[in-house]
Each structure stands twice: as structure tokens, then as C-alpha cells.
Chains A and B, each alone.
Chain A
Amino acid sequence: MAVYKRPATLKKNPSGFCPGCMHSLSTKIIAEVVDEMGQKDNCLHIVPVGCSTLNLVYWQGDILGAAHGRAPAVATGFKRTNPERLVFAYQGDGDLAAIGLAEIMGAANRGENFTVIFFNNQTYGMTGGQMAPTTLIGQKTTTTRYGRDAETTGYPMKMCELLATLEAPAFVARYALNTPKGVMEAKKAIRKGFEIQMAGKGFSFIELLGNCPTNWGMTPLQTLEYMESNTIPYFKPGVYKDKYKDEVK
């Protein structure tokens, strides 16, 4: 018999996300973990630019806006001067894998002791659905009208796989939010990332595969199927690096 209460780390007002947008879902499970760990008043959420910024008026707790792509740089400064705080950056794929590529690589490579939660919806949601570095081959966006073509735009970037090649990161994992099982796995991974951070064991990165019903031009239910047959086969869920497997459960 399950018991469920909406997390106190979310404001009581509705989120600003579109119907069915999984930004809401990821924010909700992050808030649940923060509540469950008793970190509501000790946590700092950092959002850069993108629909993640809608959390500025939804997150009940300390939240800071960073310049586009620069959340890991802001998190570095904040965490180094406030090591006791639970710090995480919540970044979109355009933000993290395009304009912010240098910052995420740098922070991960230095093994900074904070957590990055990467919301990958394979598009620039906030600006109207342009191609992102993570857009799938063949995926239609406003800037790839006939579908993304590798010849001219390269291949969708696999951030977990890239970051896992670095020596420093402690935990790197990816989960998909299109089923209840995926949501539960994602939540467990977020908890693990936060526990690694609070134990002072370094950088954790959790990628959440999500959607953008508005710019994908689909109903929320259609995005679930699309993710199953397109997103998940390319961006394979799983743990890519787990340095302290035996020490932090």
C-alpha cells in the first residue's frame, strides 16, 4: 500500500511547464529526494538558461540563475566556498551540450564535488524547437526541416559516454522518464549522486531522457512511444561510471 505526499520542496502553485513536459517530472523527483534526505533548507539548485528556468518560480528553496551553460562554473564557486551545502545544477541539452560544453567538461574533469542533472529532450525547447547537439538523426526540428542529417550537422552527442572516459567523475548514469520504472530508477540514481556528494566523494552526473511535447508536435502520450522507439535505443540507459560502487550504496 503506497503512501505519497507531494514534496514540500515544490511550491504549491502549478509548474510553468507545458502539459506532459518531463521537466516537471524530473523536478518533482529531485524535490522528493531532497525532502527524503532532509536537505530542503541546505540545498542550492542552480539553473542556467532554457525551460529549466521555470523552476525559479516553482522550486521551494534556494535557487540561483546562471548564464547560459555556465551552471557548472557557478556551482564550482558556490560549492568550494560552501562545502556543507547540497549543490546541483539542472541543465537542458542545448545548454549543457552546446553553449556550456566547456563548463561541464571542465567541472567533470576537475571532479568538482557537486551533482549535475542533465535533462535531455533532444531540442532547444524554450526557444521554439531548434536542433540541439543531442537531436537524433532524422529528427525534424525548426532548423532541420527535413530531419537531422549527419553529413552537415554531425551526430547526436552522448554526454554520459563522453564524461565516463574522464578519470575524475565518481558517478555517471542515464535513465528515461517515460515509464514509472524509469522514473523510480532515475530517482534512485539522483539519491545516489547526492549521497556521493554529501560524502565528499566528488562529481556525479545523472542524465534524464525527457520530452518536449510542444516542440516535438506530439501529444504527451505520443512522446512516451516516441521515446521508447527512438530516444532510448540511441541513448542507452544505464550506469556508465561508478567509482565507489562498493562504498556508497
Chain B
Amino acid sequence: MIELNVMLCKGCSYCIKFCPKKILELGTDRNKFGHFYPHLTDEAKCISCGICATICPEGAIELPEKEKEEQ
């Protein structure tokens, strides 16, 4: 599962464009710098492919290690 650091996000929407599952969407809340940020519309559909993290310019999306152990 992805983790978004809301403070780092600038709302560019690159992650939304490239998510193969189309489960990222920009929300209506802004972070403290005034940027809209994305959220998952359906967590269960996330395949943890990391494409969103690869294209995010800010490194705002992480895929934590712990998930590996849970699997």
C-alpha cells in the first residue's frame, strides 16, 4: 500500500495519470502550501507496483517495507 506525504505533494497529478489501476484521484482538501493532493479511491485495488512513486517528482509517495513481511 502506498503512503503519501501530504506536505511534499504539489498536486501535479503525474501519479494519477500513470497509475495502471486508475485508483488515484485529486481530493478537494489542500495541504498547508495550498496544493491539492491525491488519495486512493479503492485501496484494495492497489497492486503496489510503485509506478506512482517512480514518477512523483517530489518523492511524496512511499511504499513501506513492512508490507513485504505481511504478505
The B interface, classified by DSSP as helix, strand, loop or mixed, is loop
Contacts of B8 in A (CB 8 A): 14
A14 B58 Cβ-Cβ under 8 A: yes
Given the complex of chains A and B, what is the CA–CA distance between A5 and B51 in angstroms? Answer: 13
B47 to A: closest C-beta gap in Å: 8
A7/B59 in contact, CB under 8 A: yes
Once bound together, how far apart are the Cα atoms of A179 and B67, in whole Å? Answer: 26
Number of contact residues on A: which range applies? 20 to 34
- Cβ–Cβ < 8 Å partners of B17 in chain A: 221, 224
Instruction: Please measure, in the bound complex, the distance between the C-alpha atom of A17 and the C-alpha atom of B12, giving whole angstroms.
Output: 12
Task: List the A side residues contacting B7 at CB < 8 Å.
Answer: 14
* CA gap between A10 and B59 in the complex, in Å: 9
For the complex, give the distance between the alpha carbons of A15 and B12 in Å: 13
A21 contact set on B, CB distance < 8 A: 57
B59-A6 in contact (CB<8A):
yes
Query: Quick one: CB contact mask for B47-71 with A, threshold 8 Å, 1 for yes?
Result: 0111101111111111111011001
B36-53 CB mask vs A (1 if < 8 Å, else 0) is: 000000000000111101
Q: Does B10 contact A (CB under 8 A)?
A: yes
Q: Which residues of chain B are near A180, meaning CB under 8 Å? A: 18, 51, 54-55
Is A111 located at the chain interface by the 8 A CB criterion?
no
> Residues of A contacting B14 with CB < 8 Å?
20, 220-221, 224
Contacts of B67 in A (CB 8 A): 1, 3
Asked if A25 and B55 make an inter-chain contact with CB atoms under 8 angstroms apart, the answer reads yes
Q: In the complex the two chains form, is A19's CB within 8 Å of B48's CB?
A: no
How far apart sit A22 and B70, CA to CA, in the bound complex (Å)?
34
Interface membership of A28, Cβ < 8 A: yes
A:84-121 near B, CB below 8 Å: none
The residue in chain A whose Cβ has the minimal distance to the Cβ of B65 is: A3
Which residues of A lie under 8 Å from residue B53 when comparing CB positions? 2, 4
Residue A183, interface by CB 8 Å: yes
Residues of A within 8 A of B71 (CB): 1
Check: B30 CB closer than 8 A to any chain A CB.
no
CB distance from A187 to the nearest CB of B (A): 9
B58's partner among A1, A2, A15, A221 (CB-CB below 8 A) is A15
A197: interface (CB < 8 Å): no
A24 on interface, CB distance cutoff 8 Å: yes
Confirm or deny: A67 has a beta carbon within 8 angstroms of a beta carbon on chain B.
Answer: no
Question: Which residues of chain B are near A1, meaning CB under 8 Å?
Answer: 48, 67-68, 71
Query: Chain A residue with minimal CB distance to B16?
Result: A221
Instruction: With CB as the reference atom, state the residue of chain A lying closest to B35.
Output: A19
Q: List 5 contacting pairs A-B, 8 Å CB cutoff, sorted by A.
A: A7-B59, A18-B10, A19-B35, A184-B54, A221-B14
List the 9 shortest-distance A-B pairs measured between CB atoms, nearest first: A2-B50, A24-B57, A20-B12, A19-B10, A6-B59, A25-B57, A220-B12, A4-B53, A4-B63
